[in-house]
């Protein structure tokens, strides 16, 4: 079973990376700035200062997200994960909204912690304000 699982996982990983690389960042973005901003968001999440995390979110979206709602979902995951160690993988790519045609930068950060690996997906608008963030 393990011999079968590894090749399947490798194929899935290759397809995932191919999908990401085919969507290059729009010209309005600089990859190093996108990655720096996304890392800043993740570092703030790791401090568990959820009010500061909400401050990264684009102003028109802040009413839909509260520090309490983030804390209720993320705190147990972060507590279980232990101390942040490093970034295992960081990839930035572009994505266009189907409803608004707005260009976004998406940064996927695979992070190693003391007891777990977590994947963050941070979406940024043209002003590098957060318009989406997920942790798995």
In this predicted structure, the answer to whether residue 5 has a pLDDT above a threshold of 50 is no
What per-residue confidence (pLDDT) applies to 121? Answer: 96
Percent residues over pLDDT 70 in the chain = 84
> Looking at residues 55-60, what average pLDDT do you find?
91
On average, the pLDDT of the chain sits at: 84
What per-residue confidence (pLDDT) applies to 23? Answer: 85
Residue 105 domain boundaries? 24-135
> How many domains does the chain fold into?
1
> Looking at residues 107-122, what average pLDDT do you find?
95
Alpha carbon separation from 23 to 49, 97, 121 (Å, rounded): 32, 13, 15
Return the CATH number at 41: 3.10.450.590
Assigned domain for 3 exists: no
pLDDT in tens, 36-50: 999 999 999 999 899
What per-residue confidence (pLDDT) applies to 98? Answer: 85
What pTM was computed for the model?
0.77
The 8 Å CB, 24+ separation contacts for 70-76 are 74/45, 74/48, 74/50, 74/135, 75/48
- Across 36-45, 62-71, 106-115, least confident range: 62-71
Assigned domain for 2 exists: no
What per-residue confidence (pLDDT) applies to 16? Answer: 43
Assigned domain for 14 exists: no
Alpha carbon separation from 89 to 23, 69, 86, 110, 112 (Å, rounded): 17, 27, 9, 5, 9
Assigned domain for 19 exists: no
């Amino acid at each position: 079973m393990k011999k079968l699982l590894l090749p399947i996982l490798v194929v899935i990983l290759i397809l995932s990376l191919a999908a990401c690389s085919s969507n290059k960042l729009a010209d309005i973005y600089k990859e190093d700035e996108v990655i720096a901003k996304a890392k800043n968001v993740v570092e703030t999440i790791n401090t568990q200062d959820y009010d500061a995390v909400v401050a990264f979110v684009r102003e028109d979206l802040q009413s839909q997200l509260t520090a309490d709602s983030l804390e209720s979902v993320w705190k147990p995951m972060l507590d279980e994960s232990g101390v942040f160690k490093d970034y295992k993988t960081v990839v930035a790519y572009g994505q266009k909204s189907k409803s608004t045609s707005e260009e976004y930068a998406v940064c996927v950060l695979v992070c190693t912690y003391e007891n777990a690996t977590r994947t963050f997906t941070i979406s940024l608008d043209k002003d590098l304000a957060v318009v989406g963030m997920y942790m798995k």
